[in-house]
Amino acid sequence: MFKEDTICAIATGMGNAGIGIIRISGSNAVDIAEKVFFPIRDNIKVAEMKSYTAAYGTICDGENIVDEGILLLMRAPHTYTCEDVCELQCHGGMVVMRKVMEAVVKAGARTAEPGEFTKRAFLNGRIDLSQAESVMDLIHAKNEFAVKSSLMQLRGDLKNVVENLRETILYNVAFIESALDDPEHYSLEGYPQKLRAIVDKLVTNVDNLLITFDNGKVLSEGIKTVIVGKPNAGKSSLLNMFLGEDRAIVTDIAGTTRDVLEEVVNINGIMLNIVDTAGIRETSDVVEKIGVDKALDYVDNADLILYVVDSSVPIDDNDMQIIARISGKNVVIILNKSDLETKVDKMLINSYISGDIVEISATTGEGRNELYQLLNHMFFEGKLSYNDQLYITNTRHKNELMATRNSLTKVLESIDMGMEEDFFSIDLMDAYEHLGLIIGETARDDLADKIFKEFCMGK
Q: What is the pLDDT of residue 294?
A: 67
Distant-in-sequence, close-in-space partners of 224: CB < 8 Å, separation ≥ 6:
273, 275, 301, 302, 303, 304
Distance CA 298, CA 33 (A): 54
Q: Are residues 224 and 368 in the same domain?
A: yes
289 with 307, same domain: the answer is yes
**If DSSP codes are grouped into helix, strand and coil, which group holds residue 91?**
strand
DSSP designation for 310: E
Distance CA 393, CA 383 (A): 17
Least Cα distance to 98 among 33, 5, 8 occurs for 8
SS3 state of residue 293: helix
* C-alpha span between 125 and 127 (Å, rounded): 6
- Its pTM surpasses 0.75: no
Same domain, 206 and 239: no
Number of neighbours of residue 374 by Cβ within 10 angstroms: 16
Residues 365, 268 within the same domain = yes
Domain that holds residue 237: 220-381
Same domain, 326 and 416: no
- Are 224 and 90 in the same domain? no
Instruction: Clarify whether residues 89 and 198 are in a common domain.
Output: no
Residue 228 in domain:
yes
450 found inside a domain: no
Domain ends where: 360, 381, 402?
Answer: 381
CA distances from 130 to 25, 97, 170, 339 (A): 22, 32, 20, 52
- The CATH number for 241's domain is 3.40.50.300
| 190 and 277 co-located in one domain | no
Let me know how long the chain is. Answer: 459
Q: Is 232 within a domain? A: yes
Q: Does one domain contain both 162 and 193?
A: yes
The per-residue DSSP string of 372-409 comes to: HHHHHHHHHHSSS---SS-----HHHHHHHHHHHHHHH
Picking from 381, 413, 448, the residue at the C-terminal end of a domain is 381
SS3 for 272?
Answer: strand
Judged by phi (left if over 0) then psi (alpha if -120 to 50, else beta), residue 37 lies in beta
Radius of gyration for the chain, computed over Cα atoms and rounded to the nearest angstrom:
29
pLDDT for position 137: 78
Beta pairing class for 356-359 and 331-336: parallel
Residues 30 and 161 in one domain: no
pLDDT at 251: 37
In this prediction, the residues of the chain whose per-residue pLDDT falls under 70 are 1-3, 142-145, 214-221, 245-260, 269, 277-296, 379-389, 442-448, 450-451, 453-459
Residue 115 counted as domain residue: yes
> Is residue 449 a part of any domain in this protein?
no
Whether residue 153 lies inside any domain: the answer is yes
446 within some domain: no
| Backbone φ/ψ region at 108: left (φ over 0), alpha (ψ -120 to 50), beta | left
Question: Which of 353, 381, 409 lies at the terminal end of a domain, its last residue?
Answer: 381
Strand-pair category, 17-25 with 304-310: unpaired
Can you name the residues that pair with 53 across neighbouring β-strands?
Answer: 73
DSSP state for residue 112 in the 8-state scheme? P
Asked if residue 52 is part of any domain, the answer here is yes
**Is 378 in contact with 330 (CB distance < 8 Å)?**
yes
The percent helix, strand, coil of the chain (3-state, each to 5) is 45, 20, 35
Q: Please name the residues in contact with 254: beta carbons below 8 A apart, sequence gap of 6 or more.
A: 231, 232, 279, 281
Looking at residue 112, what is its pLDDT? Answer: 92
Count up the domains in the chain and report the number.
Answer: 3
Residue 269 has a pLDDT of: 66
Task: State residue 215's pLDDT score.
Answer: 67
CA torsion angle 442 446 450 451 (round to 10): 20
Do residues 78 and 156 share a domain? no
**Does 334 share its domain with 430?**
no
Q: For residue 190, what is the domain's CATH number?
A: 1.20.120.430
The CATH number of the domain holding residue 22 is 3.30.1360.120
